[in-house]
Amino acid sequence: MASAPSPRGTVLGRALQTLEFIKFSHTIFALPFALVAMLTAARGLPPLRVVLLILVCMAAARTAAMAFNRIADWEWDKQNPRTANRSRLATKRTAWLLVVGSLIVFVAAAQALNPLCFALAPAAIALVLGYSLSKRFTAFPHFFLGLALGAAPMGAWAAVRGELASGAPWALMAAVLCWVFGFDLIYATLDVEFDRRAGVHSFPARYGIPAALRLAGVLHLAAWGLFLLFGCRAGFGLPYWIGLGIAALALVQEQRLSRTGEVGRINAAFFQVNAVVGLVLLLATAANLWLLH
């Protein structure tokens, strides 16, 4: 009797490996805030064409960014026990194909949206790819990651309005920047010893874990204040403030988990708690706009 084919050898298996290679599940960090910006800019749902093009831009930009990150960190990842499996999920050739193909799709979708999105596409590409190189020369690559993810709501706002003149998208961008900067500091504490041995630049590796956790706390407090400012600039009401209260509790829980020093709890702080922040604020935004109508 012939044995069943290995899942890794099937088309589905290879597709799942590729999704794991680019950590597609982490899209949940940036996507909710792009949707928050989209809904707020349109004061509801924009035309379906715009929604689909925004989703295409988000998926393409993030795929390019993560595939390029894997290429840039290829040798480091193979040496780090926590990330050693990444290079076995896909080849460098596959990674480059993902980068080039995704960037072509991103630029095409940006052009289809409006002239402002197309004009901003090169800057967006520089941001999403630049993060992967920043850890070679600065202890603040976490800032550049925050900047890259913070560009997502700005892009969604520009896609709907064709302008960035109002203050709301800037407040949301700054909030996402501080939020991501803070949680990436927490995540980076897992690799302090490896980063110091390998010469990888990061804030925890240079200044220590206690300093990184203190800065993360300050950044998350700033992020909450900026989410509050965004709600005020957007003219939101009670549903958003309730969501903001839940987000505050989630951020406090993240800080508590990060101080245990346990890998499992830090991973929970990184993924589960931060997913709650984005999804709760998205639902609160949607509820607020629904009640206004």
- pLDDT tens-place string over residues 84-97: 777 677 788 888 99
The whole-model pTM stands at: 0.88
Cα 271 to chain centroid distance, Å, stands at 11
- Asked whether the predicted pLDDT for residue 68 surpasses 80, the reply is yes
More confident call, 33 vs 135: 33
pLDDT category of residue 287 using cuts at 50, 70 and 90: very high
- pLDDT tens-place string over residues 127-164: 999 988 998 899 999 999 999 999 999 999 999 999 99
pLDDT at res. 74: 81
Residues 160 and 50 sit within 8 Å (Cβ to Cβ): yes
pLDDT at res. 32: 93
- pLDDT tens-place string over residues 205-214: 999 999 999 9
Residues 176 and 151 sit within 8 Å (Cβ to Cβ): no
Distance, CA of 277 to CA of 268 (rounded, Å) = 13
More confident call, 58 vs 191: 58
pLDDT category of residue 6 using cuts at 50, 70 and 90: very low
- Asked whether the predicted pLDDT for residue 117 surpasses 90, the reply is yes
pLDDT at res. 208: 93
State the angle between helix axes of 92-113 and 48-72 in degrees (0 to 180), rounded to the nearest 10. 150
pLDDT at res. 4: 44
pLDDT category of residue 11 using cuts at 50, 70 and 90: low
pLDDT at res. 285: 95
pLDDT at res. 249: 94
User: Which option is the CATH number for 22-292: 2.60.120.620, 3.40.1020.10, 3.40.50.300, 1.10.357.140?
Assistant: 1.10.357.140
pLDDT at res. 22: 67
pLDDT at res. 5: 44
pLDDT at res. 259: 80
- Asked whether the predicted pLDDT for residue 1 surpasses 50, the reply is no
Distance, CA of 22 to CA of 17 (rounded, Å) = 9
Q: With 0-12 CB in 10 A as exposed, 13-18 as middle and 19+ as buried, what is 11?
A: exposed
Mean pLDDT for the chain overall: 88
- pLDDT tens-place string over residues 219-261: 999 999 999 999 999 999 999 999 999 999 999 988 888 887 6
Average pLDDT (40-69) is 94
pLDDT at res. 70: 87
pLDDT at res. 77: 75
Average pLDDT (23-38) is 82
Residues 73 and 57 sit within 8 Å (Cβ to Cβ): no
Average pLDDT (101-111) is 97
